[in-house]
């Protein structure tokens, strides 16, 4: 992996820039550049054909100055320790920017879940918990779903952890099914939080989004939900969607119902009826009001940033834009809603789930939406205000808000 596109190198470079502007002392800066602890494990799993396959797993606890670490679990064939470190760092800044009392963590397993049966996935889920259970619980480090993990996998993990402990511990993981202590509103929380920030950005920029065009790169959980909610809440017209195999474009718009139906039937959006096939790269460069990068890291780089035509880039993915691209987009007037602000709805409702688990009382979905809206709106305006005051791009502004809060907690604790 090149240094330019190593996600942890990028995360550290972004922090370095914020630390310089904040005037952080060297000890605090170095403390925040590295995870406080990390664990690498191997997980032997008996496959359906009787063979045993050994998987590599990770759990990184980046910073817990503001509270228990919190972060998802990714299952991906390209998962590496540096990817997990970067995502854990971004989680630390994400929980701080939305001002919830948690730190940042992340976990992952290098595997190809699409090629695994449900039984193999369950054995991997339980094996992962057996490997890391000593460093997680409802008060120290709370995992959650991420790429290629889901509520069922969280349920198996919660059950395995409870078996080990000898009693039920629903709060040790979030994103669970509702019957096992999940929260109403968790399923679409990442996309919903992103939509709330786009709504606030349109007000700040004086853009009327009713009937405005949008493109969605990445048509998984977040991408599909932002399609639905973009239509319902913002009245956007989605003209292009894509997944790992490619994308499709239709000037007249693609409805949520049509997009999901085609994806579910064919396993991809490619070749959707009455649309033009486009590549993921072409989709990013479409002339739309709102672009939703909702896939993986480093898709907007110094090589293509000058071709981005969207007015707003709302990052539902983690790390889709490199530091070089940030500078170019800012220079060209593209309003970026940075990942750890835009997609913070997921961890915010996960926090709500932890709260509900802690006192065993559950909220109606309307209350979840109301409280999520309040958190996301306040976070957006804190970042927008910082960007205006410091004359910096929004990602750097978000770092300034978040790093300042984490640094203050570290100092108050006497760590530096």
User: Which residues are catalytically annotated?
Assistant: 106
Beta strands at 290-293 and 213-217: parallel, antiparallel or unpaired: parallel
CA–CA dist 330, 395 (Å, integer): 10
Beta strands at 141-145 and 237-243: parallel, antiparallel or unpaired: unpaired
The phi and psi torsions of 197 (rounded to 5 degrees) equal -70, -35
DSSP, collapsed to helix, strand or coil, labels residue 63 as strand
CA–CA dist 216, 329 (Å, integer): 18
Cβ contacts of 297 within 8 Å, gap of 6 or more: 5, 7, 83, 86, 317, 318, 319, 320
Furthest C-alpha separation in the chain: 62
In terms of C-beta density within 10 A (0-12 exposed, 13-18 middle, 19 or more buried), how is residue 81 classed? middle
**What's the Rg (C-alpha) of the chain?**
20
User: To 5 degrees, how large is the angle CA 45–CA 297–CA 81?
Assistant: 40
- Both tokens of 401, joined, read 């808000």
- Both tokens of 346, joined, read 């997921």
Residue 320 and residue 176 in contact, taking contact as beta carbons nearer than 8 Å: no
């Amino acid at each position: 992996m090149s240094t330019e596109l190593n996600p942890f190198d990028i995360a550290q470079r972004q922090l370095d820039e914020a630390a310089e502007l904040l005037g952080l002392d060297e000890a605090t800066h170095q403390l925040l550049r590295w995870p406080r602890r990390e664990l690498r494990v191997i997980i032997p799993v008996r496959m359906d054909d009787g063979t045993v396959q050994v998987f590599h797993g990770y759990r990184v606890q980046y910073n817990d100055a503001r509270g228990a670490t919190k972060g998802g679990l990714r299952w991906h064939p390209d998962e590496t320790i540096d990817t997990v470190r970067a995502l854990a760092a971004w989680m630390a800044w994400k929980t701080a920017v939305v001002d919830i009392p948690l730190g940042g963590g992340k976990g992952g397993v290098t595997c190809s879940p699409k090629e695994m049966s449900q039984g193999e996935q369950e054995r991997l889920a339980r094996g992962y918990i057996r490997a890391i259970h000593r460093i997680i619980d409802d008060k120290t480090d709370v995992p959650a779903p991420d790429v290629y993990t889901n509520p069922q996998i969280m349920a198996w993990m919660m059950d395995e952890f409870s078996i080990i402990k000898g009693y039920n511990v629903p709060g040790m993981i979030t994103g669970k099914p509702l019957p096992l202590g999940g929260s109403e509103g968790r399923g679409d929380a990442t996309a919903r939080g992103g939509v709330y920030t786009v709504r606030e950005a349109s007000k700040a920029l004086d853009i009327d989004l009713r009937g405005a065009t949008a493109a969605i790169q990445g048509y998984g959980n977040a991408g599909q939900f932002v399609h639905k909610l973009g239509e319902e809440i913002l009245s956007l017209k989605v003209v292009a969607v894509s997944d790992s195999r490619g994308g499709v474009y239709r000037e007249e718009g693609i409805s949520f119902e049509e997009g999901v139906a085609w994806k579910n039937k064919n396993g991809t959006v490619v070749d959707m009826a009455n649309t033009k096939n486009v590549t993921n790269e072409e989709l990013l460069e479409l002339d739309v009001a709102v672009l939703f990068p909702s896939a993986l890291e480093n898709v907007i780089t110094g090589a293509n940033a000058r071709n981005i035509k969207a007015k707003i880039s709302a990052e539902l993915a983690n790390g889709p834009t490199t530091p070089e691209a940030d500078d170019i987009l800012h220079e060209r007037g593209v309003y970026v809603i940075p990942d750890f602000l835009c997609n913070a709805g997921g961890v915010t409702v996960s926090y709500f789930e932890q709260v509900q688990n802690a006192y065993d009382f559950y909220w109606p979905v309307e209350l979840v939406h109301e409280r999520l809206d309040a958190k996301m709106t306040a976070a957006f305006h804190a970042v927008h205000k910082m960007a205006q005051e410091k004359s910096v791009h929004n990602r750097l502004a978000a770092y300034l808000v978040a790093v300042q809060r984490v640094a203050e907690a570290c100092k108050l604790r006497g760590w530096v």
